[in-house]
Structure 1
Amino acid sequence: MGGLRWYLAKVEAVAVRVVLLGVAVTGVVAQFVKPVGDALQDKVFLGGALLSLIAYVLYDAVKGLVGAGERPQARVRINSRELGPYIREAFRAREVSVRFIGYTGETLFNEVYHRLEALLESPRRTRKVTICILVPDFSVEMAVPSAVGTDGEPVDDRQFRERVARSCRDYEQQLLGLEEQFAEDRRVEARFEYRSFRGIPRDKVCILNGDVVLHGLYDVTTRQRHPELRREFYDPKGFDTNLHIRTRQEGTEEAVETVDHWVKHFDGMWRLAAATSTRRGSS
C-alpha cells in the first residue's frame, strides 16, 4: 500500500510539472511564432507563461523540500541515533506495529515515548498501536552484561544485571502508563509489552509495520566503567550500533524475503519468550 501511494504521488508530481511547463512553453512560442500567437490572440500571454515557468520551478523546489522533511531518505545503513525519521514515518499509518529486539529498549523508548504522547493529544488517522519489545532475561547468569575479570574474562555480576533489569522495568512501566491513558481515552487501541529471552544482547532489530527492518549487531566486547560500582563492565552501547535497512518498497523479491524472514524470526521468539513479571499474570 505504501508503494502504491508513493507511485501515485510521483505520477501526480510529473503531471503537474508537465502542465506548468506546457503552459510556459506555449506562451513563449506564441510570442515568436505568428500563427501560434494569432491563434491564441492574447498579448498578455507571455506574462502568464513566465509566471507558469516560475511556478514550475517553485513547485519542483517545494516538492523536494517537503519530501526531504517528511520522509526518511533511502539509505542502506544508519546509526541508531538516526532511528527517529523511520519511527516518525511508521506512526503515519492507521495501524502502527513496532517489533524490537535489543539490550534494554532504551533507544526505541527515547524515540516512541513523545510520539505516543502526541498521539494521545491528536490521533489523526491512527487507530491502533502495538509495541512488542524483547530483551535478555537478566535473572540468570550472563556473559554480557558482566564484570571484566583480571584477564579480561567475563565475570557474572548479579548486582549489575539487576541494575540493567531495573532500567528495562522503568521503560516498561512508563509505556504501560501511556497504555492506560489510551484505554481511558478510547480513540486509539494500544498494547505495549516487554518479554525476555535467554541469551546475550547480540542482535538489535527494529521491525516497523511489518514493512521496514533495521538490523545491527551490538559490540558485545564494549567496556564501560561505572565509578559508583567501582568496576569495569562488558556493557554494549546501543546508541553506537549501526543498523542495516531492508524494506518491502525496494520492490525486489530478495528484499521482500528478507523482511518476511525477520518478521517470522521475531514472531517465533515472541511466542517462545516468557512474559516479564509485569505481564506474567495476564499473558
Structure 2
Amino acid sequence: MTRTLLLGIFAIGLTAQFVKPVGEALEGKAALGGALLSLVGYVLYDSVRELAASLRLPPQVRVQSRDLGSFVSEAFRAREVEIRFLGYTGETLYNELYHRLEGLLDDPGPTRHVSVRILIPDFGQPMTVPSRVGPNGAPVDDPVFRRGLESKCEQYEQRLTAIAERLAVAGRVTAECEYRFYPGIPRDKICIFNREQVLHGLYDVVARTVQRSTDPGFYDPKGYNTELNVWARSSSEDSWIVVDTWNKHLDDLWSLAATPSWRRGTAP
C-alpha cells in the first residue's frame, strides 16, 4: 500500500508538470501533498522500527538437544573456543565435541585453543535420579547403575583428553577437557558457548529406561529429548543479563565442584 501511494504521488506530480489542467487543479494543494508524504514517512518509520526490533531477537528461541552440533560448529569458528556444560552425562555434547576436536587434527582453521569444562552429578553419592524404580514408583538408589554412568563419563573424558594430547603433539592447537562433579540430581541442562550463547532446558526427571526385559526400570533422564531455550549476548539487554548470570553461576559451581576419583588417581 505504501509503495502504491508513493507511486501515485509521483505519477500525479509528473503529470502536473506537462499537463496544464492537472497542474492548475493541483495549485494550492501543496499542503495535501505534504500531509500525504508525512503519512508515508510515518508508515516507513514504523516499519523500520519493527524490523530493527525483530533483528534484535535471537534467531532461535527454542531448539532441540540434537541441534547442538550447529552451536558447536559455530563456536569452533573462534580463535579461543570455550564450552561449558552442566547436566547429566553430557553424552549428546560429547559426541559433537569428539568429532569436532578430531577434525582439528586435519584442519584447525582459525581455532588455536579449546577449553571444555563439563559438570556432571556426583555419581558416587546416593541419588533419587538416576535410580531404580521401586514399588509404587518410589526411587531406590542403585550403586551399580550409578557406577556404570560414572564409568561412561570417565571414558568420555579420557577420549577427549587423548585427542587434546594429539593436538598438542601436532603443535597447532592446544586443548583441555575436564569433568567435575556437582551435588544433586540432574535437573538442569546448560550449555554455554564462548560465553556468548547460553542454552538451558530441564530434564524429564521421571523418564524411565529398561536395559533388558528382565531388568527393573530406572529413572534415567534422556538428554537428547530435552528442549533448550537460547539466549545470545548480542540479542538484547535482557538476554545480555541472562548470559552473564549463567556464566557467573557455572564459574562459581566449577570452583566448588569436586574432582572425580579417576582424575585424582584413586579408585572409585
Q: Same fold (TM over 0.5)?
A: yes
Amino acid at match of 1:135: I
| Structure 2 partner of 1:264 | 248
| Structure 2 partner of 1:101 | 86
**Is 1:116 paired with 2:101?**
yes
**Is 1:194 paired with 2:142?**
no
Amino acid at match of 2:257: A
- 2:217 alignment partner, SS class: strand
For residues 85 and 74 of structure 1, the distance between their equivalents in structure 2, rounded to whole angstroms, comes to 13
Which string of whole-angstrom CA distances, capped at 9 and with x for unpartnered residues, describes residues 231-253 of structure 1? 10000000000000000120x21
For residues 205 and 219 of structure 1, the distance between their equivalents in structure 2, rounded to whole angstroms, comes to 14
The correspondence of residues 173-252 of structure 1 with structure 2, limited to 5 A, is: 173-227=158-212, 230-250=215-235, 252=236
**Is 1:273 paired with 2:260?**
no
For residues 151 and 77 of structure 2, the distance between their equivalents in structure 1, rounded to whole angstroms, comes to 32
Contact kept? 1:193, 1:279, Cα under 8 Å: no
The correspondence of residues 24-39 of structure 1 with structure 2, limited to 5 A, is: none
| Structure 2 partner of 1:74 | 59
| Structure 2 partner of 1:143 | 128
Amino acid at match of 2:243: V
- 2:155 alignment partner, SS class: helix
- 2:136 alignment partner, SS class: coil
What TM-score, normalized by structure 1, do the two folds share?
0.72
Once the 2 structures are TM-superposed, how far is the Cα of residue 277 of structure 1 from its aligned partner?
2.3
What TM-score, normalized by structure 2, do the two folds share?
0.75
Once the 2 structures are TM-superposed, how far is the Cα of residue 95 of structure 1 from its aligned partner?
0.3
For residues 143 and 249 of structure 2, the distance between their equivalents in structure 1, rounded to whole angstroms, comes to 29
Once the 2 structures are TM-superposed, how far is the Cα of residue 74 of structure 1 from its aligned partner?
1.3
Amino acid at match of 1:247: A
| Structure 2 partner of 1:87 | 72
- 2:198 alignment partner, SS class: strand
Amino acid at match of 1:133: I
Q: 1:228 to 1:95 in 2, by over 3 A?
A: farther
Between the aligned residues of both structures, percent identity stands at: 52
Which string of whole-angstrom CA distances, capped at 9 and with x for unpartnered residues, describes residues 181-208 of structure 1? 1221121111110001111011100000
RMSD after superposition: 1.3
For residues 280 and 208 of structure 1, the distance between their equivalents in structure 2, rounded to whole angstroms, comes to 27
Which string of whole-angstrom CA distances, capped at 9 and with x for unpartnered residues, describes residues 160-181 of structure 1? 1111111111111101111111
For residues 210 and 125 of structure 1, the distance between their equivalents in structure 2, rounded to whole angstroms, comes to 18
Once the 2 structures are TM-superposed, how far is the Cα of residue 228 of structure 1 from its aligned partner?
7.0
The higher radius of gyration belongs to: 2
For residues 191 and 167 of structure 1, the distance between their equivalents in structure 2, rounded to whole angstroms, comes to 19
Amino acid at match of 2:241: E
Amino acid at match of 1:268: D
Which string of whole-angstrom CA distances, capped at 9 and with x for unpartnered residues, describes residues 103-145 of structure 1? 1010101111111011111112111100000000000100000
- 1:134 alignment partner, SS class: strand
Structure 1 residue ranges (4+ consecutive) displaced by more than 4 angstroms after TM superposition: none
> How many pairs were matched up?
208
Can you give the 5+ residue segments of structure 2 that lack an aligned partner in the other structure?
Answer: 1-57
